[in-house]
Amino acid sequence: MLQLTQKKAVITGAGSGIGKATALLFGRQGAEVHVLDLNSDEAAATAAAIKDAGGQASAHVCNVVNQQEVQEVLQGIGQVDILVNSAGISHIGKADNTSEADFDRVFSVNVKGVYNSIHAVLPLMLAQGKGVILNLASIAGIVGIPDRFAYSMSKGAVYAMTLSVARDYLHQNIRCNCISPARVHTPFVDGFLAKNYPGREAEMMHKLSKSQPIGRMANPDEIATLILYLCSDEASFITGCDYPIDGGFIKLNN
């Protein structure tokens, strides 16, 4: 079960965090993994790790904000059975202190970047008569999270795009789902704590972890496992759905 043999998977933002964990897992499950990331060193490292484990992988430097660049990379790959939109950035701020530049930056990566990848992959999937798209949304797009105005906006848009694509291509055998993680312990979190809470990293890590009722953050491998299932043939009856993976945050955080 959950094998991806003879499938080509494109994963954006696969140089680190959830995207990297997903790429490594897909490689172990037999997929030919195409690692897309803005950071060439991180993309190459992920692809190398897949190959070292006996898998198939290629690294592609790609800025998801640039539509032409995304189209050229995906057209060069050709067949794409699975697209995972994991590339994204975060932002701290409320509506009154979020600058226009920061708003545009978050929108460009988190919303336009997902659109660009979907826009480029759909002609390929339509031509082959099948495909799976998995988008990374967030609990921030579902519930109110303090100081996450622009980020929440962007992830709400990802959720809406997921439903739209799932409905529009329902009869072309293209499935589209999203997942909504709560906090995940990635290098981004460590960098955020070091920058904003120097000397208090352990204290703040504990505080952020306890905001999940389960008492800890997720690790990227746990998120990757859900992504694998939703992209596998075992999930062939699932489309147009969002799956919170949040340690009880939405339903149990009373």
What is the rounded distance in angstroms from the CA atom of residue 214 to the CA atom of residue 11?
A: 29
Where are the chain's structural domains? 8-184+220-252
Catalytic residue among 151, 197, 229, 243: 151
What is the DSSP-derived secondary structure letter of residue 179? E
What is the rounded distance in angstroms from the CA atom of residue 138 to the CA atom of residue 150?
A: 13
Q: What is the pLDDT of residues 156-214, one digit of tens each?
A: 999 999 999 999 999 999 999 999 999 999 988 888 788 878 999 999 999 889 989 99
Angle at 148 between CA 147 and CA 152, to 5 degrees: 155
- As a whole number of Å, the end-to-end CA separation of the chain is 37
What is the rounded distance in angstroms from the CA atom of residue 174 to the CA atom of residue 51?
A: 29
Type of residue found at 161: M
Return the CATH fold of 8-184+220-252: Rossmann fold (3.40.50)
Beta bridge partner(s), residue 60:
36
Does 151 participate in catalysis according to the annotation? yes
Q: What is the pLDDT of residues 10-24, one digit of tens each?
A: 999 999 999 999 999
